[in-house]
Amino acid sequence: MISFLKGKIIKKGNNFIILAAHDIGYKIFVNESLAAEAKNGDELELFTHQYIREDALDLYGFTTYEKLAMFEMLLSVSGIGPKSGLGIMAIAGVEEIKNAIAEGDTNLLTKVSGVGKKTAERVILDLRDKVGALAPAAGAISSVGLRGDEIDALVSLGYSIQQAREALSKVDKSITDSGKRIREALKNIK
């Protein structure tokens, strides 16, 4: 089982990189934002999940162990394969996904192609107990629900989900009005 690789990027695509480690090139599927940021020749360390099935032997890579653990948790749910799991990991951070699951919020999960309402509900049902201890304190404002609507608004304006997430993450946390948060986020998009 290949669990970790460190090496130099020798080739990249939209959703993969080829990492040379000790004179062997490994094709590793990664989320689009990591593939876009990566440059040929860069050194990279990835925690990997080796996915084995009858017709394929694929590697999926993540920059932190926490992301890998969340991905593997998602794969334990019937109906979630590696591509859907990678898609979920691409639209939100680990804490946002955990909070969405703990709160029973299907909106975040259904943003991923191939994940419908029933599959999102199954993810919540199967994983709620595993992430329930990490739920936000009672009375806390749900950043997932609030940001989900804000992300939708920015996506409808033509920005990618990743651009919307990054722009919203830079908005001052003291601003709670969605309209103001969206206007501030628009200032942050390059």
Residue 157's pLDDT is: 83
Check if the beta carbon of residue 61 is closer than 8 Å to that of residue 17.
yes
Taking only the tens place, the pLDDT of each residue in 49-67 is 999 989 989 999 999 999 9
Whole-model pTM? Answer: 0.69
- Residue 69: is it exposed, middle or buried by C-beta count within 10 angstroms (0-12/13-18/19+)? middle
Residue 64 DSSP label:
S
Domains of the chain: residue spans and CATH:
4-62 (2.40.50.140), 65-134 (1.10.150.20), 143-188 (1.10.8)
Residue 133's pLDDT is: 44
Closest listed residue to residue 47, CA positions, set 70, 63, 66, 25 = 63
Taking only the tens place, the pLDDT of each residue in 91-118 is 888 888 998 888 888 888 988 888 899 9
Taking only the tens place, the pLDDT of each residue in 133-175 is 444 443 344 444 446 677 777 777 887 777 777 788 888 888 8
Residue 148's pLDDT is: 66
Residue 144's pLDDT is: 42
Residue 68 vs residue 91, higher pLDDT: 68
Residue 67's pLDDT is: 93
Residue 164's pLDDT is: 77
